[in-house]
Structure 1
Amino acid sequence: MSAVSPLDYDSLESQGLLRYLNINIPLRNVYDFIELSRNGIDKRALLHLAKTIDFDLSELAHVLHVSERTIQRYELKKKLSTEASAKALQLAKLYARGESIFGDLERFKRWMELPNVALATKRPKELLDTTFGFQLLNEELIRIEHGIFA
């Protein structure tokens, strides 16, 4: 039995996450995610993520809690802070999970844009600026995966 719960680590989601960031390193368990966060992801990976999930720089800055100008000033190989890297990884993991559940990234991106009754009529994308928002979205994805709709 693994010490890492299925909610923390899923091989297919991890592969999707890596594709979203355009990085090629093995992520075998949650500790690899922690290490990647600590080491930081670079601006190039962040921009690849933004392009893949259709985020503009302003939206990305809001989620990462860094200024848009700070992101603009970074060199392509400059690493983000641990906190910003962890948020970017959470974002990539959420979208990978959404793609897996919805069967298509475009369908999941549309879902993220539409007001949702189960989320107090907020657009899911609006909730990405806090850890609690990520948690709520992950819980909603679990309900969708199991066919439980609000």
Structure 2
Amino acid sequence: MKKYAPSKAHSDIVNEPIAAYGYQNFDDAGLFRLMDIAKHGISFKIFDNITKKFPFTMQEWADFLHISAKTLSRYQKEEKSFDTLQSEKILQIEILYKRGEEVFGSADGFLIWLQTENMALGRTKPQDLLGSSFGISLLMDELTRIEHGILA
């Protein structure tokens, strides 16, 4: 089986500020590009670049992706790409990061929010919701409320 190497367009969309216009504002072409990237799989190299933005351990990333830390380590050693569902989750977390950076004005502000217990989220740390697509959607909604000054 031929190993998938993302085209320049695929790697650029992960590296460019893909959420600069907000998650809901992707046009159809942008969403289809993201779906195509996920379908072909995010390489471990791209994943590793994304993980460097966050203070999470590899065990936490494994939990978010619903795989074992051993499997994640094997992906790294074998330079494997993630499957479609894992790739979608990685992209969703990257989009959330970009949106959070936009709303808080800095990555640091967003990361502090992500790790701080939140009353609006039932005293849950936002990072605890990253293992679920529904959780990520809830966080995107919360970022929109923060942006518009609706804090409770």
**Shorter-normalised TM-score: what interval?**
0.7 to 0.9
Please identify runs of 4+ aligned residues in structure 1 that moved more than 4 A: none
Distance 1:40 1:63 in 2: 16
Equivalent of residue 106 in structure 1, options 102, 105, 108? 108
Give percent identity, aligned residues only. 36
Determine the C-alpha separation between the residues in 2 that align with 1:76 and 1:95.
Answer: 27
Give distance in 2, aligned partners of 1:76 and 1:17: 28
Q: What RMSD in Å do the two structures reach over aligned CA positions?
A: 2.0
Q: Return the alpha-carbon distance in structure 1 between the equivalents of residues 78 and 120 of structure 2.
A: 39
Q: Displacement of 1:14 after TM fit?
A: 7.6
In structure 2, stretches of 5+ residues that fail to align are: 1-13, 20-28
Task: Report how many residues are paired.
Answer: 130
The SS at the match of 2:17 is helix
| Amino acid aligned to 2:60 | E
1:149 and 1:52, CA in 2 relative to 1: closer, same or farther beyond 3 A?
A: same
Kindly report which structure 2 residues correspond to 1:87-98, keeping only aligned pairs within 5 A, or say none: 87-98=89-100
Q: Give yes or no for contact 1:44–1:76 (8 Å, CA) kept in 2.
A: no
Are 2:128 and 1:126 aligned?
yes
Uncovered stretches (5+) of structure 1, i.e. residues with no partner: 1-12, 19-27
TM-score normalised to structure 1 length: 0.80
TM-score normalised to structure 2 length = 0.79
Alpha-carbon distance change, 76 to 108 in structure 1, aligned in 2, over 3 angstroms: farther
* Residue 118 of structure 2, aligned match among 116, 139, 142: 116
Tell me whether 1:68 sits opposite 2:69 in the alignment.
Answer: yes
